[in-house]
Amino acid sequence: MRYFYDPTISNETIHHTLPQEESKHIVRVLRMSTGDDLAILNGKGDLYHCVISGTEGKLVKVDITKREQYEADKPIHIAIAATKNADRIEWFLEKATELGLTELTFISCKNSERSRVKIDRLIKKAISAMKQSRRAYLPTIHETIDFKSFIESHPNGLIAHCYDEQKHHFNKVYHTGNCPILIGPEGDFTLEEVDLALQYGYKSITLGETRLRTETAALYAVTLAKTINETEH
């Protein structure tokens, strides 16, 4: 079964017309035709089983034969300082989407190497990963926000850093629900940023004995959070 993405598909209809990009892929790349089966994800928990009924211009029309609704994933919110190399963030997002990341925020820190990211490109990467892994939900991806503003609006989370101080083990302090995980830039958070986060209820955590690259630390945190979420399910 081939999987496609369309956030506009409605529960109130049995006929639907796919957008141009997906239609083009169906007809020109996959060479699918009338009578072929496919599935459509809307990124909001719904999966639609469909059969191609024909075309209208360059757009593919389908008949919906069955709808499945999936339970929402428990929240996993990563707030990360974008890496200088955009490919590394894209790699992280693809793998994290497959694992069940629900929310990604980019934060601007004192030692940040990149101030802006291409959100549209990242959304496309997440959509591709969602379809490939057949997950029902598309993670929410936010534009860059400065560090202080983020922790003021998202208190009581976890912060991973490399300073020598008492840190908690992830599985001892992570809780499902509203618990954002802060992952800093290659140069780490500053001591002032760590202290500020602690003032807003954050807990310092360790992600192991070795010093991890930004995207590796973030993916490891997603894996740990997913394991805990599944245990508490």
Q: How many residues does the chain have?
A: 233
Q: For all residues of the chain together, what is the average pLDDT? A: 94
Distance (Å, whole) CA 131 – CA 111: 35
Q: Is residue 33 over pLDDT 90?
A: yes
- Higher-confidence position of 115 and 142: 142
pLDDT at 106: 97
Tell me the mean pLDDT in the region 29-57. 95
pTM, two decimals, is 0.92
Q: Is residue 96 over pLDDT 90?
A: yes
Tell me the mean pLDDT in the region 74-90. 95
Q: Is residue 146 over pLDDT 80?
A: yes
Local confidence band at 140 (pLDDT 50, 70, 90 cut-offs): very high
pLDDT at 8: 94
Distance (Å, whole) CA 232 – CA 229: 5
Q: Is residue 138 over pLDDT 90?
A: yes
Q: Is residue 233 over pLDDT 70?
A: no
pLDDT at 130: 97
Q: Is residue 227 over pLDDT 80?
A: yes
Local confidence band at 178 (pLDDT 50, 70, 90 cut-offs): confident
pLDDT digits (tens, 9 = 90+) for 152-165: 999 999 999 989 88
Tell me the mean pLDDT in the region 28-39. 95
